[in-house]
């Protein structure tokens, strides 16, 4: 081969390498996943076909017809070859490089807080919590009524003129009626009364009227948002816990949803709710970690009229339900894996598919459990994990659609030690 040919091959390799490095549009892997797994709403329109028809439309009607017929045949063939059943939901890679740059500097270390994604400021919001030096119910050191926000890199404590009075026993979710975070419940060191209902405008808390006080005492996670009806759903225990009830908030009043209440079957008061965009229903699942057995309760669905218990299926998760969120397309569930220690639980992961739960086996799983929130900006689910017996949060994990990634964490150095409420 001559020197001239060597030069040509070198240039050619460089050009081909450039071509191979070309970056597709953001979300490429997700679109490919959707195409493969038969999500027609997500399937990308053919840009190429548009280009074929655009520039030469007037001059090439016949040729365009040929192209259209060709595309039509292709689509028909695609339709005819479609599998008889929808493929099961599985991991959905996003490969968002921004997720690798996330850090969690100054994360407030505590337990019993509520967590939500703020659609106004586009940040993760954390309210309240407590610090313990041992497993609940003992060992309480501090109760917080602080509000913290995470911007993807660092946590900041926000200066809020007013704040919900009780830092424990609250739950937070986006009120689809107004597009703001709503916080309900709250008790003081495990006792009633309720701390009322509050809304977050992006920079301050505002208490809603007395009529907005939630009729039940929710646990963290017992609150759900239903974009299909514009309602906030809650279920929980009334009074001393001997009764339970389910209610829906429509922006003005809490409406009792009657029987059945999904809380009635709860074995330990642990429950979690999430909206299923595919069926346009809210799912509810509960469970308990009452030693020595941890178990999961039936799955309920809310369709705008009331809760209904879904048939048990062979795909029911084992272990206790811990946290659940929707990722814009599916419902993700984390459970406490059966047989693992209560104070250092192993995690199992499931997604809801049509009428049952399907277990996922990602390459990595967080070593602990905690609140799970979907961040639409990151297009990822954020999990705060506790790996200590006192359930104090000390880790952050990101679900990118295909695997879990640990976010580097620096804990905020807490100074206060007295067992009093802190603002």
Q: Least distance to another protein from the beta carbon of 10, Å?
A: 10
Site string for another protein, 45-84 (x = CB under 8 A): -xxxxxxx--xx--xx--xx-xx--x-------x--xxx-
Site for another protein in 370-409 (CB under 8 A): 402
Choice between 201 and 354, CB closer to another protein: 354
Judged by CB under 8 A, the residue of 3, 25, 210, 408 near another protein is 25
Residues 6+ apart with CB under 8 A from 94: 27, 29, 30, 379, 380, 400, 401, 402
Judged by CB under 8 A, the residue of 93, 139, 165, 277 near another protein is 93
Q: How far is CA 338 from CA 218, 289, 319, 363, 390, in A?
A: 25, 9, 5, 19, 20
Q: Least distance to another protein from the beta carbon of 285, Å?
A: 15
Choice between 46 and 206, CB closer to another protein: 46
Q: Least distance to another protein from the beta carbon of 344, Å?
A: 24
Report if residue 97 touches another protein, rule: CB under 8 A.
Answer: no
**Contact at 8 Å (CB) between 335 and 319?**
yes
For 121, half-sphere exposure in the C-beta direction (CA atoms, 13 angstrom radius) is 18
Choice between 32 and 342, CB closer to another protein: 32
- Say whether the peptide bond before residue 193 is cis (omega within 30 degrees of 0): yes
What does the alpha-carbon distance between residue 235 and residue 82 come to, in Å, rounded to a whole number?
A: 41
Strand partners, 156: 149
Write the DSSP symbol of residue 316.
Answer: P
Report if residue 315 touches another protein, rule: CB under 8 A.
Answer: yes
> How many Cβ atoms from other residues are within 10 Å of residue 373's Cβ?
20
Report if residue 21 touches another protein, rule: CB under 8 A.
Answer: yes
* CA angle at 269 for the pair 119 and 306, rounded to the nearest 5°: 65
What does the alpha-carbon distance between residue 361 and residue 13 come to, in Å, rounded to a whole number?
A: 39
DSSP calls for 361-397: --S---SSB--EEEETTTTEEEEEEE-STT--EEEEE
Site string for another protein, 198-237 (x = CB under 8 A): ----------------------------------------
Residue written as tokens 């602990």? Answer: 368
First-residue to last-residue Cα distance in the chain: 78
Judged by CB under 8 A, the residue of 3, 19, 79, 84 near another protein is 19
Site for another protein in 331-370 (CB under 8 A): 353-361
What does the alpha-carbon distance between residue 195 and residue 332 come to, in Å, rounded to a whole number?
A: 30
Judged by CB under 8 A, the residue of 12, 73, 101, 416 near another protein is 12
Judged by CB under 8 A, the residue of 26, 91, 136, 265 near another protein is 91
DSSP calls for 346-359: PEEEEEEETTEEEE
| Site size for another protein (CB under 8 A) | 71
Report if residue 9 touches another protein, rule: CB under 8 A.
Answer: yes
Q: Which of the ranges 7-15, 148-156, 214-222, 272-280 carries the binding residues for another protein, by CB under 8 A?
A: 7-15
Site for another protein in 261-300 (CB under 8 A): none
Choice between 64 and 238, CB closer to another protein: 64
Identify the sign of the CA torsion 213, 215, 221, 225. negative
Q: Which of the ranges 5-13, 97-105, 129-137, 320-328 carries the binding residues for another protein, by CB under 8 A?
A: 5-13
Choice between 48 and 190, CB closer to another protein: 48
> How many Cβ atoms from other residues are within 10 Å of residue 162's Cβ?
10
Site for another protein in 27-46 (CB under 8 A): 28-29, 31-33, 35-38, 43-44, 46
Report if residue 178 touches another protein, rule: CB under 8 A.
Answer: no
Judged by CB under 8 A, the residue of 3, 6, 7, 113 near another protein is 7
């Amino acid at each position: 081969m001559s020197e001239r040919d060597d030069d040509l091959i070198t240039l050619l390799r460089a050009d081909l390498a450039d071509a191979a490095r070309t970056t597709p549009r953001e979300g490429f892997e997700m679109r490919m996943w959707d195409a493969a797994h038969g999500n027609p709403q997500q399937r990308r329109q053919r840009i190429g076909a548009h280009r074929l028809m655009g520039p030469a439309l007037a001059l090439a009607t016949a040729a365009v017809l040929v192209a259209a017929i060709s595309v039509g045949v292709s689509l028909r063939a695609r339709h005819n070859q479609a599998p008889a059943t929808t493929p099961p939901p599985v991991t959905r890679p996003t490969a968002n490089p921004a997720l690798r740059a996330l850090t969690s500097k100054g994360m407030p270390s505590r337990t019993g807080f509520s967590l939500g994604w703020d659609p106004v400021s586009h940040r993760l919001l954390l309210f309240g919590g407590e610090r313990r030096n041992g497993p609940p119910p003992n060992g309480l050191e501090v109760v917080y009524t602080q509000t913290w926000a995470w911007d993807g890199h660092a946590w900041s404590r926000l200066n809020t003129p007013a704040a919900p009075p009780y830092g424990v026993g609250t739950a937070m979710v986006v009120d689809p009626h107004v597009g703001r975070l709503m916080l309900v419940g709250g008790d003081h060191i495990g006792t009633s009364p309720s701390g009322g209902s509050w809304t977050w405008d992006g920079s301050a808390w505002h208490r809603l009227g007395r009529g907005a006080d939630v009729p039940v005492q929710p646990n963290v996670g017992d609150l759900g948002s239903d974009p299909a009806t514009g309602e906030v759903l809650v279920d929980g225990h009334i009074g001393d816990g001997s009764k339970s009830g389910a209610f829906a908030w429509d922006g003005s009043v809490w409406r009792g949803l009657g029987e059945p209440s999904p809380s009635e079957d709860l074995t330990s008061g642990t429950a979690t709710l999430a909206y299923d965009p595919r069926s346009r229903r809210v799912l509810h699942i509960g469970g308990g970690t009452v030693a020595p057995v941890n178990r999961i309760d039936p799955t309920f669905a809310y369709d705008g009229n009331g809760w209904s218990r879904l048939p048990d299926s062979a795909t029911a998760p084992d272990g206790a339900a811990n946290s659940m969120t929707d990722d814009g397309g599916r419902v993700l569930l984390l459970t406490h894996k059966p047989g693992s220690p209560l104070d250092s639980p192993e995690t199992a992961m499931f997604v809801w598919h049509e009428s049952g739960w399907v277990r996922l086996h990602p390459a990595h799983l967080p070593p602990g459990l905690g609140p799970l929130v979907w961040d639409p900006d990151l297009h990822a689910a954020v999990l705060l994990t506790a790996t200590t017996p006192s359930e104090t949060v000390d880790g952050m994990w990101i679900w990118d659609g295909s695997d879990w990634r640990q976010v580097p964490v620096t804990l905020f150095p807490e100074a206060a030690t007295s067992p009093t409420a802190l603002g």
